[in-house]
Amino acid sequence: MSDIAVVTGANSGIGRATALYLAGQGYVVYGTVRSLDRAAKLQAAADAAGVEIKLVELDIADDASVAAGFGRILAETNGVVDVLVNNAGIGGNAVAEECPTSLYIDVFNINVCGAIRCAQAVLPGMRARRRGAIVNITSIAGRVAAIAQQPYVASKWAFEGVSEGLAQELAPFGVRVVIIEPGVTKSAIFAKNIDAPNQSGAYDSAYRRMFQFYAAGIANATDPTEVGALIHHAVTTDEPQLRYACSWGGTELVEGRAAMSDADWVALGAHEDDAAYTADFRAKFGLDIG
């Protein structure tokens, strides 16, 4: 019998690529989307690949929507979900001084609480069967404090912490937890990430450097199918690991930050000149964002 996977946020980017990849590997895949009316590209891609994605309308930001969506899935699968890929999420650009707390709350509700809602729906069955995998898509911003993205960074760091704790909590039950930390993949989301709420004008350089990074990332972005393949490896390998950095900039940023002192990290941000910042960034991370 085929394993059953649920991929949240399956309508685009990593979610769509992962849903298609797992379906191609023989999984029965349920892809959650906020609106069935906007899933035409996903359906067309599935048809072109000769696979089926079972669409479920579900908003991870809402308790009732998650309960209803997973209620339908579990009814159709006799209570079985083998793999949950918590992919759905949103960005959030803002420096700390000028970020309203309401934005933190909105981003946390989706990026952290949304994943928890979905995990809570499938974990009783996984525990009872003593098998299964929870795959949490965090970000390199969950390991490195990406500039001018405070609500996003805070949510992804929190998601990393939740995932680490969950890995220990589920270890006695044979349920695997995987943290996927992508850098920049090919996705329309990055081109739409243009918010720069710089009310005071004091943080021009911070926003400029954020956009520099993403411009370089978009130019070198990796295919999100690579993330789907990595997820499949992570849930099937006999030698599992907790974390996997991937995509453009992923490994370089995680390893570069780990090799830096905190003093060096602060000094990177202190550069007043963009050229000096770019050169230092290249020296520390091996990435050219100029």
Q: How far is residue 163's CA from residue 146's CA, in Å, rounded to a whole number?
A: 20
- 85, amino acid identity: V
- The residues assigned a catalytic role are 152
Which residues, listed in sequence order, are joined to residue 91 by a DSSP beta bridge?
Answer: none
Q: How far is CA 213 from CA 126, 208, 220, 253, 281, in A?
A: 40, 9, 11, 12, 10
CB distance 144 to 209 below 8 Å: no
Which single residue is written with the structure tokens 């998601």? Answer: 159
Handedness of CA 197, 199, 201, 203 (dihedral sign): negative
Residue 259 half-sphere exposure, CB side, CA atoms within 13 Å? 10
